A = this chain, B = another copy of it.
Amino acid sequence: MPKTPLAPRKAPRQDRSRKTCDAILKAAAGILEREGQTGLNTNHVARKAGVSIGSLYQYFPNKQSIIGALIRARRETLLAGMEEVFEAAGEAGLEEIVRAMVAKRLQQDFRRPALVQALQRAEAELPEDKDLRQMRTRVEALIVAVLAEYYIDDPETVARDVLAIGDGMVRAAVDAGETDAAALGARVDRAVLGYLATIVED
């Protein structure tokens, strides 16, 4: 039993519950996006969700679990996207798969970039969460699988680097106010492929 559980308090059964829970997460996401962590306080979230503070605590045992739920949701989407690409890969070459993955990722992260950034920052302040960590691992594992097929050495580290390159570039691009996902995607493609090329050569 962790001190500050990140999991939601209860899964909403009734229809009304589902709505309340969603409204809370939506409100939280909106605030995080617009005002950052500073503006994220439980009363504010509840008010914006059109829900009483008591209801909020019915579904989330504490503030951090709300952030946790948002992170989890995002990561689930990401994981699903990657799996989709992976399964659709078929005979495609490494380059093609990389491009597809990069595209998928940008397509998801570039819809609400400020939110994604805020979530990424917020996660660092959260206590360790097995569940969350595991989801990250699974995304990495997927990439490891792809890399391994191409006989790339130390695929774990490479997978991490590849993800890290994307993270860094997306973050910087968002900070700089870029809005053209395609252009950014092209650059990320080049960066990742360029990095992989130096490895294959070796």
Contacts and interface: CB of A to CB of B under 8 A. Distances in A.
A186 to B, nearest CB: 10
Contacts of A194: 191, 193-198
A14 interface: no
Contacts of A165: 165, 168-169, 191
A117 to B, nearest CB: 7
Interface stretch (A65-73, A77-85, A155-163): A155-163
A108 interface: no
A61 interface: no
Interface in A184-202: 187, 190-191, 193-199
A188 B44 CA distance: 42
Nearest to A162: B191
A119 to B, nearest CB: 12
A124 B167 CA distance: 15
A166 interface: yes
Contacts of A198: 190-191, 193-194
A125 B36 contact: yes
Task: List the 10 shortest-distance A-B pairs measured between CB atoms, nearest first.
Answer: A168-B168, A194-B194, A164-B172, A190-B198, A164-B168, A191-B195, A194-B195, A194-B198, A167-B168, A164-B169
Given A37-B125, A193-B198, 7 more contacts: A121-B124, A160-B172, A164-B172, A167-B168, A168-B168, A190-B198, A193-B194
